[in-house]
């Protein structure tokens, strides 16, 4: 079978059809590429905004992951630095709960810093704070220290109160 020469009337519509298809493909392909770039730019913008404005939302009914108003007020009134040190082994599950809680405290004030020490890897620091067991938290401020053996908001807030309090409570006993 012999092909018709390129100048015949049947070759011209084929050529135009190929050109139209390639232009249409180019047009839709470029639209898809531009759309993809725009979507990626929006996603990157949202990600950068999320990283700059670290927000957590507590949707639990009991507000389990939100500090109590008393704790927030105490933190806002802090005038001296407070250091919270958790003594946890790397593999302990309580370590994560400690980190979550102290990050909440640190979000409300610049006066609270925190650190995690593994007593096995840093025994000198554990001895310095007289740590004899894992899962111990030390709250330090104003030259005072409080040891905690449970990581709960009420315990940490009370320890911060104790180390920041400037007056001592006096208890009198009356006999007679």
pLDDT range class, residue 48, cuts 50, 70, 90: confident
- In three-state secondary structure terms, 10 is coil
Give the count of beta carbons closer than 10 Å to the beta carbon of residue 117.
Answer: 20
Give 112-169 pLDDT, tens digit per residue. Answer: 999 999 999 999 999 999 999 999 999 999 999 999 998 899 999 999 999 998 777 6
- The sign one gets for the Cα dihedral 146, 150, 153, 155 is negative
Q: Of 69 and 15, which is predicted with more confidence?
A: 69
Q: How confident is the model at residue 23 (pLDDT cuts 50, 70, 90)?
A: low
1: pLDDT confidence band, cut at 50, 70 and 90? low
pTM of the model: 0.63
39 pLDDT tier (thresholds 50, 70, 90): very high
Least confident of 25-29, 31-35, 155-159: 25-29
Sign of the dihedral through C-alpha 126, 130, 132, 134: negative
Mapped onto helix, strand or coil, the DSSP state of residue 141 is strand
Task: Quote the mean pLDDT of the chain.
Answer: 83
The better pLDDT of the pair 60, 68 is held by: 68
pLDDT at 33: 81
Listed as own residue / partner, the contacts of 119-123 with beta carbons closer than 8 Å and 24 or more positions apart are 119/87, 119/89, 120/89, 121/90
C-alpha span between 20 and 7 (Å, rounded):
19
Tell whether the model's pLDDT for residue 86 goes beyond 90. Answer: yes
Write down the pLDDT at residue 137.
96
């Amino acid at each position: 079978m012999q092909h018709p020469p390129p100048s015949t009337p049947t070759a011209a519509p084929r050529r135009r059809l190929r050109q139209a298809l390639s232009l249409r493909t180019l047009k839709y392909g470029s639209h898809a590429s531009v759309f993809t770039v725009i979507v990626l730019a929006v996603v990157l913008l949202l990600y950068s905004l999320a990283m700059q404005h670290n927000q957590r939302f507590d949707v639990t009914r009991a507000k389990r992951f939100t500090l109590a108003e008393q704790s927030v007020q105490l933190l806002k009134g802090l005038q001296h630095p407070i250091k919270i040190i958790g003594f946890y082994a790397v593999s302990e599950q309580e370590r994560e709960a400690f980190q979550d809680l102290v990050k909440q405290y640190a979000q409300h004030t610049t006066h609270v810093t925190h650190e995690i020490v593994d007593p096995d890897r840093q025994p000198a620091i554990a001895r310095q704070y007289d740590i004899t067991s894992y899962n111990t938290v030390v709250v330090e401020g104003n030259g005072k220290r409080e040891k905690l053996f449970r990581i709960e908001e009420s315990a940490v807030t009370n320890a911060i109160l104790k180390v920041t309090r400037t007056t001592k409570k006096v208890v009198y006993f009356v006999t007679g």
